[in-house]
Structures are given as structure tokens and as C-alpha cells.
Chains A and B, each alone.
Chain A
């Protein structure tokens, strides 16, 4: 028979000895664990995000888009306004990559003629004449990022024309115009979201943090703004922009108009988050320690909602890009000389034009791809930041 009673008594004693020791260790661990937790939270999110392949692809596409927009003048073979009247309404050219078995991209020269039946201008590739595509070629001078004068371009041809996506009615290269137009299309979303964020974060956080009549008033305002359908309201507001305003002013006015509605959504989201956080111990502790409201908001609440802010900003981008292109498409948003994808699409409204020159629709695909990429990215970030809530 085992003497089990002696053994169990022994275990009980061991527990009692251990207690005093453990408590001091536990105290020491608490503080270091907290720091580890804050950093590991971001690392965990990153690990989860990186596993979502489609979100990573979305992120890469977006990076590429913005990089191209940054270096647009270098990437585009032609300037925004460069007219090649001999080649108006040219369809996208076929690029040949290999000549005599080695890598040497070229396009064929073109012979202009007229279709005998429709009398429309057509271009026939001339197989006799190969025009090599040269990289880092000297082209029209420009200012890189608006600062550094330069004239080297990523690629181009010495004679004739290279037009990856065709030309428009005035012989301007669509590829160049789309690349340069991306500067406006992509930044209007960025600036618009940034503005919405400033308004939304400020009002949303104060609404959630202060509660009471502040919350009430802000919620009322949000309710009123949100009771308007967005596109018609945007239309009415942009229609009020005087036609004689300088382009930059129009650009900023439109971003302001877009964020005028965009902020409400951000504010609502943040308010909910802050309402939940307000009851947390660390906010309570800060308040009891006598921290001012501003300190608590900027030192505690905003950092604590940062991951959430990143997610909702990413998810707000598509709506901004979409709204700008829709308004410009309708002729109410940006106007030439400002060029965005929506402005470029304006020439593709007519069915006759579309049937004859379908490549004029291509800017629309760029809108779609950028929105798709943002949706993928935003979705992945949302899952990484918090799998359960918005």
C-alpha cells in the first residue's frame, strides 16, 4: 500500500513555500510583459497580414501605382499635351520584343491612309520599317516630381511613335496621359482621406470621449450630412465651383468637397472604438492620475485606435477615387487642363466614339484596378487588425 497521505501533505507544503517567491516574480514580469505586448501586437498583425496573399498583392499593386505616379513624367514617353497630329486616334500598337532572336523591342512604322469605304483615317503597320524602342532616351524636358529638371525618359522612340494604349483625337498618347493622370486620381483619394481623417478623427474621438451634449451635437450633424445621397450632393457642390478658378484651387476644393461627406463614416467608426476604450483601465488610470483631456486623447486614445484608423482609411480610399472619377466623368469635377482618369474618360461617353475607338475606355480599367487593389489591401488589413469588427 502506498503511503499516499504523506505524499499529498508534502505537495501541500511545497505549494505554500512557493507562494511568497512567485508573487515577487510576478510583479517583475508584469512591467516587462506590457512592453513586449505593445510591440508584439504590431508584429502579430504583420504576420497575419503577410499570410493573406491576395492582400499582399493588392498592397504591391498600390505601391507600384504610387511609385509610377511619383515618377510619372519619367515613365511616360510623352508629355501631357504633346500632340502628334499625324497619329490621332491611333489604336494601341503591337510591341515586338525579339528581333533576330535577341531581345530588342520594336514597333513597326505606320503608313497613314484612308479606309476606302468609310473614309476614316486608318494606320497600316509597315513591316519594312522597324522602329526600335530605346530605354533611357532623351525626350521632351520635364521636371521630375515637379522639382528636378530632366529630359531622360524610361523609354521612347527616335522616330515615328510608340503608343502602348493608343492616342486620342488630338494625337496625344493615352499611355502617357493615363500615367500622368494617375497623379491626380491617386492623390485626390489620399488627400481626401487625410482631410476626412483629420475632421473625422477629431470629431469622432471627441464625440466618443466627451459624450454628453458634444456627442449629441456631433451625432446630429453627422445624421444631417448622411441624410443626403452622396453623389447628388457632390454634384451640386462641385457644380458651384466657378469655371474661372485656377486648376490648383479647383483640385483642392474638390478634395474638400469629397471629404465633407467622407468624414462622417470615419467619425462614426472612431466614436464606437473610443466609447469602448473609454471604459478601459488604462484610460481610467490616466484620468485619475490627473492627465488632461488633450493628453489622454493624443497620448492614449489615438495610439490605441491607430490600427483601426489605418484600416478604415484604406477602406475609405476606393470611395474617394470612385467619386472623383464619376464626377469628372459627368463633367462636374476636375476640368482640363487638370487631367485625371475621370477627365480622360469623359471623351468616352458617346457610344459612337466607344465603338470606333474602344481604347479610350482604358482609363476606366485603371480606376477599377486601383479600387480592386485598395479593397484587397483594406480587407487584409482589417482581418489582420481585428478579425471580428469592421
Chain B
């Protein structure tokens, strides 16, 4: 098991290096750089910058140096927790994103938990009552959940909350609570603002997981070892739980790993629409202003999150499935 973990970690290193290079290239793709964008913005507001000021700015930010060197400057800081400097915010990248990364992780994690808690019982119900009314209702809702884009759900929630419930649905707190000192009321207020994005982020995945759980379980209920268990004289409940559900959950773990990229994507969009301080909104802004270290670091960290998520899912799978554990 330990050798398996070590092997996996070592295997991730070359991937990480390649990913960081690709990320850097992508971030450098747009013509011009941050200074060009800044220049355009100043020009748009009626100001101007002379050539020497522009050049001075480039030199100050190191934008005049060859790409490889710029890459090295960016990457070599990682071990020290230095991810470069945001030109737009005039602050170290890490200081800007640290808090937001926390919210992104929290929301994604809660959404994953939500998906599991909802989809497994429903999947079991649907499989055991195949083609019943409940199964049909759930599978229709599942299709609906798969089909309504997350930004639409967020918009609809915004409208519904404001018009029907009369509450402000965007942000982490209601306007009157933002500056209030910490209290239980504020905490409740926070929770009230957290569950809708979590649910919205989890909807698509939940729909998928229900289908997978249902399909797996139906498949497994027809397996020989389930019949073997039944032929021993076990109670049906034990047969289903110990032999069928336990097996059906294994693939759910790898599927959960596959949901992580969707969570990350969703956290950006939902964060943007519902004004939640995930990394999404600043990523979008950084891309537009070509704030390359900020945008690059966010893209890289999201990819790392994905890698780690998949890694954890693999470990969990090996932990629950002896066939993989002993490979």
C-alpha cells in the first residue's frame, strides 16, 4: 500500500512539471502583456504613457526578459510559497488567492459530500424499485439536473430568492451582516448563503452519480456472488447491503474523482454569478487584464487540486477494494 502511494506521488512529479510549462505557455499566449493592457486602459480613460515609462514598467516587472527565464522565476519560487507578484493588485499572488482558495475548496468539498449523501440512497432506492414511479421521477429529475447549466441555476436562484423569499442571495453574508462582528447569527447567515451554491454545484454531479449508482447496483444485483449470498440463507437486507451496495460503492469512488474537475469549473461560474469569493471571479479578471502570474497560478493550482483529488480517490479505492490493493 505504502509503495503504491509513493509510486503514485513520484509519478505525479513529471506530470506537474509538464503542466506548469503548458500553463505558462497558455498564459503567455495573448498578444501583448500586462503593460499593454494597462496602457490601453490608461489611454481609454484619456491619459497617456510615454515610451520610456512603458519600458521602465516592463523592466520593473521583468517582462523584457526571455520567456524561459520568466518561467524559471515563476517556478523557482514555488517551494518557498512564492507564486509571483500580481501586477494588477500590486500584491504577492499567494496573498490574493489564499483566502479565496479556501472558499473554493470548502465549497467544492461540501458539494462532493452533498453529491454522495444524496445520490447513494437515491441510487439504491431506484435500483431496488426499478421502473417504479419513484425511480421514474428520480431519473427524470436526474435528466433535468444534468441539463440545466449551473449558471442558469444560479441566476434562477438569485431571482427566486429575491422575488419570492425577499432575501439577498449573493455574497457570503447579507449586506447588514458583512461588517458585523462574529456571532452565531452571522454564522447562520453564512450557512444560509453557503448551501445554495453547494447545492447548485452538486446538482449535475448528483444526477450523474445517481445514474451510475443505480446502474452499478442493478448490475451487481445480477451477479453470481449475490445469488451465492442469498443461497446461504442470508436475510435480503444483508444480501443487499453487504454484498451489493458495498460493491457498488467502489466505482463510485473513482467517479467521485472524475467529478472534481466539474466541481472546480462550477465553483468558478457559481462564484461569479453569486458573488462568492472563490478564485473564479479573480481568475476571470486576471485573464482579461493579462495579469499573468495571478492567472497562471490559479490555473496551475486548480490543476493541482484536481491531481490531488484524483490521487486521494485512487487511494480510497485501493483502500476499499482488495483487488487493487494487492496489485
Which residues from chain A sit less than 8 Å from chain B, CB to CB? 223-224, 227-233, 235-237, 239-240, 242, 318, 322, 325-326, 329-332, 345, 348-349, 351, 354-355, 358, 361, 364-365, 367-369, 371-372, 375-376, 379
Residues of chain B at interface, number, CB under 8 A: 48
Which residues from chain B sit less than 8 Å from chain A, CB to CB? 15, 18-19, 22-23, 26-27, 29-31, 143-144, 146-152, 155-156, 158-159, 162-163, 169-170, 260-261, 264-266, 268-269, 272-273, 283-284, 287-288, 295, 298-299, 302-303, 305-307
* Nearest residue, chain A, Cβ from B162: A355
Check if B272 sits within 8 Å of A368, measured CB to CB.
no
Most chain B beta-carbon neighbours within 10 Å: one of A229, A230, A237, A348: A229
| Cβ–Cβ < 8 Å partners of B150 in chain A | 326
The answer to whether A364 and B306 touch (CB under 8 A), given A332-B287, A349-B273, A372-B144, is no
Check if A351 sits within 8 Å of B299, measured CB to CB.
no
Q: Whole-angstrom distance from the CB of B37 to the nearest CB of chain A? A: 11
Check if B303 sits within 8 Å of A239, measured CB to CB.
no
**How far apart sit A355 and B268, CA to CA, in the bound complex (Å)?**
23
Query: Contact partner of B149 among A227, A354, A368, A379, CB < 8 A?
Result: A368
The answer to whether A371 and B265 touch (CB under 8 A), given A236-B295, A332-B284, A364-B155, is no
Q: Whole-angstrom distance from the CB of A10 to the nearest CB of chain B? A: 43
Check if B298 sits within 8 Å of A325, measured CB to CB.
no
Most chain B beta-carbon neighbours within 10 Å: one of A227, A233, A326, A364: A227
| Cβ–Cβ < 8 Å partners of B144 in chain A | 372
**How far apart sit A239 and B299, CA to CA, in the bound complex (Å)?**
13
* Nearest residue, chain A, Cβ from B136: A54
Check if A229 sits within 8 Å of B143, measured CB to CB.
no
Query: Contact partner of B269 among A233, A330, A351, CB < 8 A?
Result: A330
Check if B147 sits within 8 Å of A372, measured CB to CB.
yes
**How far apart sit A163 and B27, CA to CA, in the bound complex (Å)?**
44
Q: Whole-angstrom distance from the CB of A305 to the nearest CB of chain B? A: 22
| Cβ–Cβ < 8 Å partners of A228 in chain B | 19, 22, 261, 299, 303, 306
Check if B306 sits within 8 Å of A227, measured CB to CB.
yes
Check if B287 sits within 8 Å of A239, measured CB to CB.
yes
| Cβ–Cβ < 8 Å partners of A364 in chain B | 149, 151-152, 155
**How far apart sit A223 and B306, CA to CA, in the bound complex (Å)?**
12
Query: Contact partner of A233 among B26, B31, B272, CB < 8 A?
Result: B26
Q: Whole-angstrom distance from the CB of B254 to the nearest CB of chain A? A: 14
The answer to whether A375 and B147 touch (CB under 8 A), given A240-B30, A354-B158, is yes
Check if B299 sits within 8 Å of A224, measured CB to CB.
no
